[in-house]
Structure 1
Amino acid sequence: MSRYLFYISQNYSFAILRPLQKAILARGGEAAWFVEGDNVNHEFFNKDEVLLPSIDAVKEYNPRAVFVPGNVVPSFVPGLKVGVFHGFNSGKRNRKGKEDHFNIRGSFDLYCTQGPNTTETFNILAEKAGYFDVKETGWPAIDPLYEPLLVKKEIERPTILFCSTFSRNLTSAPHLFEEIKRLSITGKYRWLVQFHPKMPKEIIEQYKAIESEHLSFVETDNVIPLLQEADLMVCDTSSVLLMFLLLNKPVVTFNNISPKEYLINISEPELLESSIELGLTKPKELMTNIESFIEQTHPYQDGGSSERVLDAVDEILSRPQKSVKKPLNLLRQFKMRKKLGYWKL
């Protein structure tokens, strides 16, 4: 029986990997989880999910592949190392000024890309590095996006979903607070507010304090039902806005770092209401631009990305190993061993 491991460090990993888990179990395989660090809420695990308590247990489990919705994974974890990403490429740049989505850290044997506009760059990087493969599969987290809406949608008034990144330089949450508070009081819209898990607590408490019959603050490990339910999203530079666009619905952004033609971007909070009203009319040019974005970013709308990821793993494992080895990354591996308290070979 084929065994697979999910290596996670954040709560958002559940929504990304559970579609993969479903596909694995449907194929008669086994899936287990390992948690790195203290940022994962263990209450989010289902009773029937297998959680391995240590690296020793991981080694005994001996998975054929390990799926990581993050940036790194220890080399001493067994199995093919598969990067499945924690979000779409939202244009964020690292300290060196490079797009963080394409930062190769020497951890993975296989990158499962989401669509043409990321596959092309990763193919160039793979040819240069020589030690990893790239397969365009679509993103497993998106599979449930195309399932029927489970929540009964309110039809009397539009539902607005406000999501924001935690980065101090990029977040819209403190800048839009007063305007969202004002709009929520009117009752014109139904507001759902959901933030990145790393959002500062003081901002979270600020929004919780204005909860009412018109505004709900939602804490969840699965944002997909919120995306399905909303008619329009208000956001900034969080990659979750890209998921929302895949549903062919409009997004209003505040100070997006790279505003594209498929977004309604504003720089003044006072423009929020009029921009929401514009977006809800679904202007023809805007919707045409959104459709073009979908074709380049994630053209797979069949809910079968998890199956394609597993097929990619099978294909790579059926080949001879690459002659070029991954970089040793001694300093990074030392830091991971120290963090995990694991010093065995």
Structure 2
Amino acid sequence: MMADYLLFASERYALPILQPLAQALQAQGHAVHAWLVDGAAGASLPAPVRMIGLREAVALRPRAVFSAANWVPTFVSGAKVQVFHGFNVEKRSDERGHFRVRGMFDLYCTQGPATTAPFQALAAQAGHFAVIETGWPKLDPLFRDDDGAAAALRAPANGRPVVMFASTFTERLSAAPHLFDAIAAEVARGDRYWLLTLHPKCAPELFERYRALAGANARFFETEQLVAAQRAADVLLADTTSVVSEFVVQRKPVVTFRNRAPKPHMLDFDDPARLPQMLAQAFAPSTELMASITAYGDAIHPYRDGHSSERVIDATEALLQGDLGRLRRKPLSSWLRALQIRRELGYWGRGG
């Protein structure tokens, strides 16, 4: 039976997370609608996803709302499902970061054992949400490349090794300002091809500098092409961005600059002058490094079949059918947060 489902996002980088989910829902014959606010406002998902606004979202009365933000408007009807906007990269403490529970979601679809166990412990304590390990919809195309986007990004390399650079927007953690000159020198040398991108919230002047490197030896790509670029690249250069974890899931080496919590699967360094040396290590990884990469990838996202979106849909249906048990009422704090969301969105009407 066809049903209406709502995709919710507050940042542009959520679009590649929601798009595979939209495709899976459509393949099952459902109608998919998207409500994008704040930093995602003005963006869109490809047709036949229907873009709607606040009042349409309320009137829609969707069967479920899938959120790639850390919040969701609770006055919209339907099961509230958290699909996450990134991996846990330890930018913040657990209480403020990845494992913060705000009392708004009915179901958490976790990415792998490293996040499943902590959320199951939280669920056992709170009782007002369920947890199912599904894998992450964003990574479905990482193992499929159905549209040839990765091959197209790699084609200009003409057989050269491909390095991808990505950076977080958090100023104290960002590698972009510190590595520009070293990256520019590598691009100019031309023995490798570069795929360059920045977090959408990075400073405009940084975007200008990195875009200017585009040419025969480099290309600057947008957030929507992030997964295709990860598939196309052989090695990643980054910092504390969650792209590091996404890339490692492919069992490929990563070089990190001043990572906040360096791990054995990373080649971390703190002096820009060492960039050539670090890249050389990444392109000739040791057996020990590859073992660490594999172990970490299995812990955070063991699914390599490209069907995490379908597992999210199945988990949501199990919740709606009552197969995951009866949930407790949401805590008082969630009702207070719901009032804040109404005020921020300017909506005081009845819920869906």
The TM-score bracket by the shorter chain reads over 0.9
Q: Secondary structure at the match of 1:234?
A: strand
CA distance in 2, matches of 1:326, 1:58: 24
Per-residue CA shift, 1:59-80, capped at 9, x if unaligned? 2211111000111112201110
- The 3 A distance-change label for structure 1 pair 332 and 325 is closer
Q: Match for residue 132 of structure 1?
A: 129
Amino acid in structure 1 at the alignment position of 2:125: K
Q: Match for residue 79 of structure 1?
A: 78
Alignment of 1:177-192 (within 5 A): 177-192=180-195
- The 3 A distance-change label for structure 1 pair 142 and 157 is same
Q: Are residues 1:329 and 2:297 paired?
A: no
CA distance in 1, matches of 2:5, 2:284: 45
Question: 8 Å contact 1:31–1:50 — kept in the other structure?
Answer: yes
* Aligned counterpart for 2:105 among listed residues 95, 108, 118: 108
* Aligned counterpart for 1:254 among listed residues 257, 266, 279: 257
Q: Which segment is superposed worse, 243-252 or 216-225?
A: 216-225
Alpha-carbon RMSD across the aligned residues, in angstroms, is: 1.7
Alignment of 1:84-95 (within 5 A): 84-93=83-92
Q: Are residues 1:307 and 2:310 paired?
A: yes
Q: Match for residue 196 of structure 2?
A: 193
CA distance in 2, matches of 1:12, 1:45: 12
Q: Match for residue 141 of structure 2?
A: 144
Per-residue CA shift, 1:18-42, capped at 9, x if unaligned? 1111111111211111122254343
Per-residue CA shift, 1:289-330, capped at 9, x if unaligned? 111111111111111111111111111111164233343434
Q: Are residues 1:218 and 2:216 paired?
A: no
Q: Which segment is superposed worse, 334-343 or 13-22?
A: 334-343
Amino acid in structure 2 at the alignment position of 1:142: L
Q: Are residues 1:120 and 2:117 paired?
A: yes
Q: Match for residue 267 of structure 1?
A: 270
Q: Secondary structure at the match of 2:132?
A: strand
- The 3 A distance-change label for structure 1 pair 328 and 257 is closer
CA distance in 1, matches of 2:116, 2:62: 26
- The 3 A distance-change label for structure 1 pair 155 and 247 is farther
Structure 1 residue 132, shift from structure 2 partner: 0.5
Question: 8 Å contact 2:128–2:330 — kept in the other structure?
Answer: yes
Identity of aligned residues (%): 39
Amino acid in structure 2 at the alignment position of 1:53: G
Q: Secondary structure at the match of 2:236?
A: strand
Q: Match for residue 9 of structure 2?
A: 8
Q: Match for residue 205 of structure 1?
A: 208
Q: Are residues 1:340 and 2:341 paired?
A: no
Gaps of 5+ in 2: none
**TM-score (norm: length of structure 2):** 0.92
Q: Match for residue 58 of structure 1?
A: 57
Per-residue CA shift, 1:155-186, capped at 9, x if unaligned? 53211100000001110000101111111111
Question: 8 Å contact 1:11–1:41 — kept in the other structure?
Answer: no
CA distance in 1, matches of 2:45, 2:315: 27
Gaps of 5+ in 1: none
Q: Secondary structure at the match of 1:278?
A: helix
Structure 1 residue 331, shift from structure 2 partner: 4.2
Q: Match for residue 228 of structure 1?
A: 231
Per-residue CA shift, 1:216-269, capped at 9, x if unaligned? 221232311100111100000000111111111100000001111000000111
Amino acid in structure 2 at the alignment position of 1:52: I
CA distance in 2, matches of 1:250, 1:244: 8
- Aligned pair count? 341
Q: Are residues 1:20 and 2:17 paired?
A: no
Question: 8 Å contact 1:107–1:326 — kept in the other structure?
Answer: no
Question: 8 Å contact 2:9–2:40 — kept in the other structure?
Answer: no
